[in-house]
Each structure stands twice: as C-alpha cells, then as structure tokens.
Amino acid sequence: MPMKLPRLFKRDKRHASPLEYFFLTLLAAFMILPLVYMVSTAFKPLEEMFLYPPRFFVRNPTWQNFTDLLIAISGLSVPFLRYFFNSLFVTACVTGGTVIISSMAAYPLAKYPRMPGAKLFFNIVIATLMFAPEVTQIPRYLIVNEFHLVDTYAGLILPLLAGSYGMFLMKQFMEQLPVEIIEAAKVDGASEWTIFWKIVMPLVRPAWITLILLSFIGTWNDYFTPLIFTRSEQMKTLPLMLSTLSGGPGMVARTGAVAAASLLVTLPTLLLFIFLQRYVMETMAHSGIKG
Amino acid sequence: MQIARTHMNFIRQSWKQYRAMYLFMLPFFILFLIFVVAPVLTAVYLSFTYYNMLEPARWIGLSNYRLLFVEDDVFITAIRNTLLFAIFTGPLSYILSFTLAWFINRARMRQLYTLAFYAPSITSTIAMSVVWLYFFANDRYGLINYGLMNIGLINEPIAWLKEQATILPVIMIISLWMSMGTSFLVFLAGLQDVPRELYDAGAVDGINNAFQEVWHITLPVMRPQLLFGAVMAIVNSFAVFGVAVQVAGLPSPLYAGHTIVAHLYDYGFIRFEMGYASAIAVVLFIATFVLSRWVMRILGDNE
C-alpha cells in the first residue's frame, strides 16, 4: 500500500531537495569544527593558546610552531627523513600486500562457498576479528622474536598482512558479483588467474580502494606495533617520533610544536583520501558491466 | 579402512576441483595462521594461567575467571559502562552511517560531503585529544562551558570530564563523531552498485516513495555491505578504549569511563598480569561473538 508522505520525499526520487542540502551542510559543518580547531591551533602563537575568553580561531597566525618543530626534530639522534621513510616504506608494503593477499583469499570464499573448508575458514577469520588486539600483541611479539624479525622491516610488515578486517570487506563485495560473468569467462577458456585479475578485480575496484585507504591509515597511524617490534632508533616510525616529542622535558613549551606535528602527520592520510575518494564512489557500471 | 579411503578420495577430489582456489588462499592462510590464529590461541591458553611475563606461565585453571566475576567489582563497572556505550553508539553509528551515505549519494558535491563526514575517523585519538580537552575543559576556559554560560544556560562551569554523570556521554559523543569510517565508505560504495534497472522496475511495480524504495530495493541488494557494517559496529563499540582513556584518564574518576578493554589494558600493561588480562579478552570475545552471530542471523546470512 502506498503511504502518504510529505512533499519532501515525493518531489524527485533521484536527487536531494533543498531541505536535505540544508541539513547535510549543517551536519557537515558541525563535523569539521574540531578539525578546523586543530588546524587553527597549529598556527597559534603561544600566548594565544591559553587565552580567556577562549578563542576558536587564530588571530595572529604564525609559522613559529613549525619552526619550533624543526628545531626539536634537529635535536633527535636520527634525521627526520629516516622516520618518514620508515613510515612510508612500511605503510606502502603493508597496504600493497594486504590488498593482494586478502583479495586472493576472499575470492574463493565469496564465489565457491561450497568448497570444503571454506565456511570453517571464514568463520575463524570473523571470530579472530572479535579478539581484543591488545592481548594478542604479546604472543605475537613472542612469535616475531622466534623468527628473529624484531627490529627488521619484515617484522613490521609480515604480521600485518593477513588482516581479518580487509578479507571480510573484500569477501562481502565479491559476493555481489554476478556468477554469470565468471561462468562466461570460464566458457571462453580463461584460467582462474586471468579471471581474477582481468575480470573480478576491476569490477570490485571500489572495494579494494576502500581497503587501500583502510590499510594505509591504519598502518600509518599505528603506534603499538612499531613500539614493541622495534628497538633501534633507526627503525622507528613517525607516530613514535611524535610521542618522543610530546613526552619528556620541556613539554609545555612544545605544545605548539606538537600541534604542528599532529597536523603534519594527519595530512598524508587526508590527501590520500581526497585523491582516492572518487574511485570509492564509482559504479560497477563505469567498468562496463552492470550488476 | 573404508571410511578412511572415502575420506582420502573426498580430499583428492576437492583438491582437483578447487586446486587453483586453495592456492589463492594459501598466502593469506599461512600468514594468518602464524600471526593471528597462533597469538589468539596462546592468549586463550594464558587465560588459564598466572603469567607476569617474567616467570613462566603457571597453570591455575579457572581462577582468573572466578576472580573476574566474583571479586572484581571494577570489572562489573567496566561491563556496565561498555554495555551502555555499545547499546547507544553501536546502533546509532550504524544507522547514521547508512542514512548519511544514502543522502550524500543523492546530493551534488558528494566528494565534499564525504570528506567532511569521513575525515574525523582518520584522525588519531592522540592528536585529537588536544582538541577535546579544550572543548570539554572542566573550567570556564573550555569552549562548551564558555558557550553555555554565555547564552545563560548554566551559571557554573560543568566539570565534563570529572563528573560521573557526564564522562560516559562525552565519550559517546566523541566516538560518534569519529564513527563515520570504513562502514560509511563501504555503504557509499555499495549504494553505487544497486542496479538502476531495479529502481525502474520497482517504480513500475508501484513503489512511489523513497522509504519503500530503500526498504524493498536498496537494503536487500546491499545485504553484504550491511552485514559487514553491522559486525564492525558491534566489534568497535565493544572495543571502546582509546577515546575513553584519552579524555577521562586511566583510571577515570570513580571508574565512570572505565571500559572492558581499559580494564584489560590496566592488568596487561600496567600491572603485568597477562593471564588475567587474557581472561578479560576471552570474556569480551565471547560476548562480541554471540552478539555478532545473532545479528548475522537477523540479517540473513545465506551460508
């Protein structure tokens, strides 16, 4: 039975109404408020940080915090670029590896659920998702230590590759793929390997772009793994450097420098998202086949 | 003997039929076994021991669990807080993620809206705590107190992060702010994949408003994404920890912001009682697992 509904929903089903725009914009403004404050703080001179009445926006923006940061960084025993390289290298390897390994494992689970062992395997993956990662870090450290991987790049990368989260994500998207496409390719004589790379992966591009973001952000911001898996200063990553800066003596004087550093560490993840987001919102139709 | 032989035959046949698929899964399987399954099983074993990371683990049976439920009052508080948090933020963040994704999908300038809602979830809790401690500061210097006093709603500043009544709500608000994350993106991507023809066919069949369209067409097609979002919402809301500790401290005043994972962290990394911490993890795991199974059944997982 069709219900009577306010005008708002009847107007045009495909596009938002002015009222929807109004609320969406209001809410969006509310969401970015704390971020605006964070950016604004990074440019505040010290005397503006503890003002009364409190001031949201910076009045006399300054680069002082960033130069302070530069000076603080130059006092470290390892050049800043080394931390940056470590972060970038580890994050790139984890992200690339995760996408390939998880997608390959998710495909059979999504398209051949009757394969013996598939269901059990998937259930175990889901179950591990629910185990507090804080506790498993210690046994994981023991294993990494056993393989002599502590303080190596392999030690920072390998344990993060087989993530339950990413595999679950890929499997859910691949489930939506019409079986007919795969069957048709098989009839044409394509191997599973070809089908996977030439047909399946291009079709689920929004899914693995999401996974790239997820994995990049998670690894880039990860504090705990490098904290326990590294020993030497040469192997440390940006989040660890940030905590060295914000802790220790002279911390209050460095409030501004820390705000600036936080902004700089967040920036790459934001830029990556801005760069990739149009692929997230891409339809299957764009790739030539409609679901 | 006969049974063993049929078994072998079955394995051989499966291998023949699905060889390529098993090889696809192999890299993940090996790494997963070593770095995920083995640590989880070790933690389960440790939950039955006394282990302080210096001496070898000593088997003590169910003692940790008995202690947890019978004598540890703080744990009961932690359960209460976590449940309150989960009941409120779990469903709300889930519904909000989908609703907003749906509205954004209809709007122009989708990229801008998506950025605004998604960006908070990227930020690290450590970096953002500077902001929250300023927004919710306990004295008149805090932005919210200042605002409320200015419009005359309150006369005295509210100690947001010290009062037992306000700590948990503040944690909930901040978590909601950060919750338009992966599920939100997954919903956006999923909405793209609903075939246009289905909507056209629906219109022919007499669907004439947005509510019916969502209910009869969008939601069924998006079931895989919805299932993912639901499980993640449960897992994340039960694992609440970072925000709670950053804004309320560990331990928080009168344990008002004490969560299950905060309790776990307290025992594991401050008191170095890994056995006890592992027992907490096992309890948390069982609660999350049972609830997720239940939700998966509601959403009709077809396997």
φ, ψ of residue B58 to 5 degrees: the values are -115, 125
Between B37, B186, B261, which is nearest A128 by CB?
A: B37
**Long-range contacts of B165-170, Cβ-Cβ distance < 8 Å, separation of 24 or more:** B165/B256, B167/B248, B167/B252, B167/B253, B167/B256, B167/B257, B168/B81, B168/B84, B168/B85, B168/B256, B168/B257, B170/B132, B170/B136, B170/B247, B170/B248
- Asked whether residue A80 is assigned to any structural domain, the reply reads yes
User: Residue B39 and residue B29: Cα distance in Å, rounded?
Assistant: 14
Q: Alpha carbon B205 to chain centroid distance?
A: 39
The whole-number pLDDT of residue B278 equals: 93
- Asked whether residue A235 is assigned to any structural domain, the reply reads yes
User: Which residues in chain A touch residue B190, judged by CB atoms under 8 angstroms apart?
Assistant: 173, 176
Longest dimension (CA), chain B: 85
**Coil, strand or helix at B138:** coil
Confidence band, pLDDT 50/70/90 cuts, at residue A24: very high
The whole-number pLDDT of residue A254 equals: 67
Whether residue A211 contacts residue A166, with contact meaning beta carbons closer than 8 Å, is answered with yes
The whole-number pLDDT of residue A252 equals: 54
Per-residue pLDDT tens digits for B260-287 = 999 998 998 889 899 999 999 999 999 9
Asked if pLDDT for residue B37 goes beyond 90, the answer is yes
Q: Are the beta carbons of B107 and A217 separated by less than 8 Å?
A: no
CB atoms within 10 A of CB B295: 18
The whole-number pLDDT of residue A287 equals: 43
Q: Which residues contact A1 (CB under 8 A, 6 or more apart)?
A: none
CA of B127: which chain A residue's CA is closest?
Answer: A262
User: Residue B287 and residue B85: Cα distance in Å, rounded?
Assistant: 14
Q: Are the beta carbons of A291 and B193 separated by less than 8 Å?
A: yes
Look up the CATH superfamily of B73-298: MetI-like (1.10.3720.10)
Q: How far apart are the first and last CA of chain A?
A: 29
B297 touches chain A (CB under 8 A): no
Confidence band, pLDDT 50/70/90 cuts, at residue B303: very low
Measured CA to CA in angstroms, residue A16 lies from A12, A13, A29, B74, B196 at distances of 8, 8, 18, 49, 17
- Asked whether residue A18 is assigned to any structural domain, the reply reads no
Whole-prediction pTM: 0.86
User: Residue B209 and residue B203: Cα distance in Å, rounded?
Assistant: 9
The whole-number pLDDT of residue B11 equals: 81
User: Residue B56 and residue B59: Cα distance in Å, rounded?
Assistant: 10
More confident residue, B42 or A69: B42
User: Residue B96 and residue B88: Cα distance in Å, rounded?
Assistant: 12
- Residues 176-215 of chain B with CB under 8 A from chain A are 177, 180, 182, 185-186, 188-190, 192-197, 199, 206, 208-213
- Asked whether residue A250 is assigned to any structural domain, the reply reads yes
User: Residue B23 and residue B26: Cα distance in Å, rounded?
Assistant: 5
- Asked whether residue A63 is assigned to any structural domain, the reply reads no
Per-residue pLDDT tens digits for B129-167 = 778 888 888 888 888 888 899 888 888 888 888 888 899
Of the candidates B120, B285, B245, B124, the one whose C-alpha atom is nearest the C-alpha of residue A164 is B285
The whole-number pLDDT of residue A144 equals: 92
| Range among A51-60, A123-132, B9-18, B118-127 rated most confident | A123-132
User: Residue B60 and residue B46: Cα distance in Å, rounded?
Assistant: 10
Per-residue pLDDT tens digits for A142-159 = 899 889 999 999 999 999
The whole-number pLDDT of residue B87 equals: 94
CA of A21: which chain B residue's CA is closest?
Answer: B107
Q: How far apart are the first and last CA of chain B?
A: 32
B265 touches chain A (CB under 8 A): yes
The whole-number pLDDT of residue B221 equals: 87
Asked if pLDDT for residue A258 goes beyond 80, the answer is no
The whole-number pLDDT of residue A227 equals: 86
Among B21, B68, B295, the strongest candidate for a mutation testing the A interface, having the largest count of A CBs within 10 A, is B21
Whether residue B148 contacts residue B154, with contact meaning beta carbons closer than 8 Å, is answered with yes
Between A9, A214, A242, which is nearest B182 by CB?
A: A214
Between B114, B228, B241, which is nearest A169 by CB?
A: B228
* Range of the structural domain that residue A214 is part of: 73-287
B36 touches chain A (CB under 8 A): yes
- Asked whether residue A192 is assigned to any structural domain, the reply reads yes
φ, ψ of residue B49 to 5 degrees: the values are -130, 170
User: Residue B184 and residue A210: Cα distance in Å, rounded?
Assistant: 10
- Asked whether residue A37 is assigned to any structural domain, the reply reads no
Q: Are the beta carbons of A158 and B113 separated by less than 8 Å?
A: no
Per-residue pLDDT tens digits for A207-239 = 999 999 999 999 998 888 888 889 888 999 988
Unique residue bearing structure tokens 């069709």: A2
CA of B43: which chain A residue's CA is closest?
Answer: A136
The whole-number pLDDT of residue B2 equals: 65
- Asked whether residue A1 is assigned to any structural domain, the reply reads no
B6 touches chain A (CB under 8 A): no
The whole-number pLDDT of residue A288 equals: 42
Confidence band, pLDDT 50/70/90 cuts, at residue A86: very high
Tally the domains of chain A.
1
The whole-number pLDDT of residue B156 equals: 86
Q: Are the beta carbons of B185 and A9 separated by less than 8 Å?
A: no
User: Residue A36 and residue B134: Cα distance in Å, rounded?
Assistant: 13
The CATH number of the domain holding residue A239 is 1.10.3720.10
The whole-number pLDDT of residue A51 equals: 72
- Cis, peptide link before residue A53, omega less than 30° from 0: yes
> Roughly what angle, to the nearest 10 degrees, separates helices A153-161 and A133-146?
130
User: Residue B181 and residue B125: Cα distance in Å, rounded?
Assistant: 14
Determine the residue type at B70.
Answer: V
Percentage above 70 pLDDT, chain A: 88
User: Which residues in chain A touch residue B265, judged by CB atoms under 8 angstroms apart?
Assistant: 134
Per-residue pLDDT tens digits for B191-228 = 887 887 888 888 888 887 888 888 888 998 898 899 99
Q: Are the beta carbons of B122 and A266 separated by less than 8 Å?
A: yes
Between B103, B210, B239, which is nearest A24 by CB?
A: B103
Per-residue pLDDT tens digits for B60-74 = 999 999 999 999 999
Among A20, A135, A255, A286, the strongest candidate for a mutation testing the B interface, having the largest count of B CBs within 10 A, is A135
User: Residue B39 and residue A135: Cα distance in Å, rounded?
Assistant: 9
Between B117, B127, B278, which is nearest A135 by CB?
A: B278
Between B126, B185, B264, which is nearest A134 by CB?
A: B264
User: Residue B25 and residue A109: Cα distance in Å, rounded?
Assistant: 9
Query: Where are the domains positioned within chain B?
Result: 73-298
Between A10, A16, A119, which is nearest B106 by CB?
A: A16
- Residues 234-253 of chain B with CB under 8 A from chain A are 235, 238-239, 241
> Roughly what angle, to the nearest 10 degrees, separates helices A153-161 and B2-32?
130
Q: Are the beta carbons of A169 and B268 separated by less than 8 Å?
A: no
**Coil, strand or helix at A228:** helix
φ, ψ of residue B46 to 5 degrees: the values are -60, -25
CA of A255: which chain B residue's CA is closest?
Answer: B130
Per-residue pLDDT tens digits for B166-183 = 999 999 999 999 999 889
Of the candidates B34, B253, B282, B61, the one whose C-alpha atom is nearest the C-alpha of residue B164 is B253
Lowest mean pLDDT among A83-97, A121-135, A255-269: A255-269
Whether residue A135 contacts residue B263, with contact meaning beta carbons closer than 8 Å, is answered with no
Determine the residue type at B238.
Answer: F
The whole-number pLDDT of residue A283 equals: 55
Q: Which residues contact B266 (CB under 8 A, 6 or more apart)?
A: B250, B251
Locate all alpha helices (DSSP H) within chain A, ordered by sequence: 7-10, 18-42, 46-49, 64-74, 80-111, 118-129, 133-146, 153-161, 164-174, 179-187, 192-194, 201-203, 205-221, 224-229, 238-246, 255-280
Q: Are the beta carbons of B28 and A167 separated by less than 8 Å?
A: yes
Q: How many angstroms away from the CA of B217 is the closest CA of chain A?
A: 13
| Mean pLDDT value across residues B88-97 | 95
Over chain B, what is the mean pLDDT? Answer: 88
B119 touches chain A (CB under 8 A): yes
Confidence band, pLDDT 50/70/90 cuts, at residue A8: very low
Measured CA to CA in angstroms, residue B213 lies from A32, B91, B208 at distances of 31, 22, 8
- Residues 125-164 of chain B with CB under 8 A from chain A are 126-128, 130-132, 134-135, 140-143, 146
The whole-number pLDDT of residue B229 equals: 93
CA of A27: which chain B residue's CA is closest?
Answer: B117
Q: Which residues contact A34 (CB under 8 A, 6 or more apart)?
A: B120, B128, B131, B132, B135, B177
